[in-house]
Every structure is written in C-alpha cells, then in structure tokens.
Amino acid sequence: MGERTKYSPEALQLLESVDAWFLKNETEIVRIMESYREEWANRNEKEFAGDALDMNWRTLSEMPICWSLQRVSGAFPIKGFRYISPRRGRATVGESLYGEYASFSTSHGFLLNETTGMIACPTFGQFVLPYLKMTRGSRVAYVEAMAPSLVLRGENGLALLRGQRDEVCNLIGLEYMKRKERD
C-alpha cells in the first residue's frame, strides 16, 4: 500500500525504543500471552469459537488476547506508553483486512503514547479475515505484505504492529482509538 511516514527525530527515537523493548522482552511477553491464552482456552468460552485460540491455526499475534497486554505492560512497561484496556480502546477494521465491502469496530486493548499517537500492538493479526480458517502465521504475513515497515517480527513467533495511529490506518485500514473519558 505505501511506505512509512517520515518521522521526526523524536518519534524515530521512540519507535527504536519500542523495537528494543519488544526484542529484549519477547520471550517473557510470549510466556505471559501464552499463559493468558491457555486460561481462556480452558474456560471454553463461546466467545472464542473455532480456531481463535488454537495454536495449530494461529500465532499469539493472531489471537483475540489483547487483555494479556495488561499483564505485559505491568511486568515490562515501555517508557512513555500506557496500556489502553478494551474497556477504553477500540479498533475499527476496514475492508482491506476484514473483507470486501465490510468493516467493523470492536473493543480492543493496545499500547499508546498519547503525546505522539504511536501505538504498539502484538495482537493485530486477529483482525485479518477473522471468519476464515487460514494457515498459522498467514494473518501476520498478510499485514506485513501490505506495510512491511509497520511489522516487527521476533524470534519466538510473535509480531508487533507499531507506528503512528494515522499511518497504521492509512497503510492497512486498522484504526486504533481511545474512547473519551467518562465524566
């Protein structure tokens, strides 16, 4: 679709710190996310029907386990970022990810730097054609083919979507939003 937005030196430094955080902590992030996935898979929730939590069909980055970020950000905070829980965050998924002539909006948790608008999300693959059975890793590869500069792959099978919110929306059609504070 397009190339990465030109970043200011400060934003570029922030992006580099996110990448360093992810690569340094990936093994532990995977451990935390896998533990969370297992808890939900063992509950046998109808909310997660089909292959949504099946490690044979999806990587952790392709599963609806954004609540695990609360544990991740508590154990390994990224300086300048805060966890936006699914109670306060939303993702609007455009037709480029969801399918032709369709889009939807859902509660979603992610990491946000409110000063720059930069997001970091290791569960972005869950939004790629979620109703189709796809091979493991193909959802991440789909996004990576659209915008390789937005996806950082780790060595343990985890991937991180990171970039400015408007850039992510423009390049792949995924809009990260924070709900307004309640009075």
pTM score over 0.95? no
Contact yes or no for 176/119 (Cβ under 8 A): yes
Q: Tell me, what's the pLDDT at 182?
A: 40
pLDDT tens-digit map of 78-127: 999 999 999 999 999 988 887 766 778 899 999 999 999 999 999 999 99
Q: Tell me, what's the pLDDT at 181?
A: 44
Distance CA 55, CA 34 (A): 10
Q: Tell me, what's the pLDDT at 4?
A: 59
Distance CA 121, CA 171 (A): 15
10 Å CB burial of residue 109 (0-12, 13-18, 19+) is buried
Taking 50 as the pLDDT cut, the residues of the chain under it are 1-2, 181-183
